[in-house]
Structure 1
Amino acid sequence: MKSVRISALRKLRLDAKGRPVTDDGYDEHAAAVTSTAAVLTGAGYGTPLSWQTEIAHRLPYGYTQYADLTMRAPDAGVPAMLLEVDRANEPVDDRYNDWFELLAPKADKEKAARRQGAAVHDFRLWSRICPATGREGYVPVAFVFTGKTAAQRESRMRRLEQAARRCFAGTPYPWAGFTAVDYHQAVPVVVTELERITADPVGAAGRVWRRLGRDEWQTLSEALDNPDGERLYRMEEEQSRRRQVKRKVAEREAQRPVCTRCGTKFTDERWQSVIQTSWRSTGDNLCGPCWKEDVDRAEAERAARREAEEAAVREAAEADAKKGRGLFGRRR
């Protein structure tokens, strides 16, 4: 692992009385960092050349968060991931969320404040430095615990889970009927143990990762995926759309007119013709067939009246003609 740059010596830590704090030294922590890079590389996550150590993440309030390792493994589905190697002796907190929320230089603060979901990422500093994650949320952060006892490591994981919940939990969508979670502005945090990785037959490629907020151990890809996030949201959005369409259809059907003569519901064509008619008639409460029956009957009656009138006119004309012949048609 000559190409893996070992993290630098950490500063001497002093207690409140100025006495050196008994702590793991450079050799133990650096060895754990190197071992972590080695087992991940062995599982296909990046190459020895794709690792960097002690990357500084400067915050505006004078604090700098250093990542023990930065992994880039796009071929394994992890474009970037920050790793912290914890020998169960460091403070449990996570300031990465503060760094992810930093605006990029010259970013429009007002526009950024109006953006929702992933749209705000374009205004953030991290998106100018790190590659796109390929998933919802910020660049994932992994905590690799090692040393002490299994119970102590488990305790550390639970403490981290409690302390960092606001960063990784995501936000429920406010719409009724949606159970999906909005992870677009959340930090995906996964944990593992170096001892667990080395004990697994397939190493870091096995089910040795746990996403904070979940109980099961998964592969890294499974742990980083968000089945209850964007994917579920799109599914529930489509279901909501279908429910709305169904509800509108039901509401429209409830308003559909019924023929007052035969009780049949109006067809769409008949209903539309009544709606579009600029004047109202007594037939508007009848369905198409009943209305046509009335129209045909009225037309037949009009035709019969016309025929009767025409016949009467003919008879009158014939009577006049006969009368005229009676007066002048015979010579004396």
Structure 2
Amino acid sequence: MFIEVDNCHETAEELAAKLEKYARFFRRRVKDTDGRERPMWRTRWTVPADLYGETPHPAVLLFFNHIGERNPNRTIPRLMELTLHLWKGQWQREGYHLCDGKIPIVAVGLKNLREHGPTGPVFFRFGRDRPQPLLEVIGNPRLEAAHAREAEADRARQTEYQAQLQKAAQEQAAKKAVEAAREAAPREARRPSCASCGSRFTDERWEAAEETDWG
């Protein structure tokens, strides 16, 4: 996360110009140690693996300390308009914004931060409707929830498919057993019995009796 501290002396246009510089910085590419070209900032800092086809940039935190005459409550809406192309993601029909290549821009005021602390819901990310805790504001919970639902649906489909395979295998085995019993019935009717005890001959005894032809 990059931090810009504003004592409320700068205009929204001046802050927007700074954010444009961040965008140019994130677009810079260099050759890494393996010879492959990558964004320069990714060669300087540890970066988590990209998830869900989204490659976000580091967040920029605008830290407002209300000392100057400018009111951040009026500066932020104008700044959001000027930097819309930098932070606004593409809406997906699954119910989330895909923020690939976008900059998470977050605003926080010193007064709220002092009152609620860094884990409180005081961080406002451009494009969202309410302040959130820091770890929530820099993520994409709707995207994660959508992929969690998709993964759960895939698991359910796989479970159903495996159950169908098992049922088909059981039906096939039962069918083969019935066919085998039907084919074996005429032979079983001819199987001889012991004259003394009435027990049916085993296959081995039947085969031995036929080979010796004892009558």
TM bucket by the smaller chain?
A: 0.5 to 0.7
Tell me what 1:87 maps to. Answer: 9
Say which of 65, 75, 97 aligns to 2:23.
Answer: 97
**Percent of pairs with identical residues:** 16
Equivalent pair of 2:12/2:76 in contact (CA under 8 Å): no
1:268 maps onto 2:189 in alignment = no
Q: Deviations over 1:115-167 (max 9, x none)?
A: xxxxxxxx1111223443799732210123434465xx223212222333333
CA contact (8 A) 1:181 1:233 kept: no
Deviation at 1:223, TM superposition (A): 2.2
* CA shift for structure 1 position 192: 2.0
Shift of 1:100: 0.8
Question: What is the deviation of 1:90?
Answer: 4.2
Structure scoring higher RCO (CA < 8 A, sep ≥ 6) equals 2
Instruction: Give the corresponding residue for 2:58.
Output: 139
**TM, length-normalised to structure 1:** 0.43
Q: Please tell me the root mean square deviation across aligned C-alpha atoms, in Å.
A: 4.2
Looking at structure 2, the residues matched to 182 and 108 of structure 1 have their Cα atoms a distance apart, in angstroms, of 29
Q: What are structure 1's unaligned runs of at least 5 residues?
A: 1-79, 113-122, 257-265, 274-285, 316-332
Report the equivalent of 1:228: 142
Counterpart in the other structure of 2:122: 208
Identify the residue that residue 287 of structure 1 maps to in structure 2.
175
Match of 1:165 in 2: 84
- On the 8 A contact 1:82/1:139 being kept in 2, the answer is no
- 1:201 deviation in Å? 2.7
* TM-score normalised by the chain length of structure 2: 0.62
Question: Which structure has the larger Rg?
Answer: 1
Distance 2:98 2:33 in 1: 24
Distance, in Å, in 2 between the alignment partners of 1:128 and 1:314 is 92
Determine the structure 2 residue equivalent to 1:262.
Answer: none
2:32–2:43 CA contact under 8 A, matched in 1:
no
Q: Which runs of 5+ in 2 are unaligned?
A: 193-205
Name the SS of the counterpart of 2:108 in structure 1.
Answer: strand
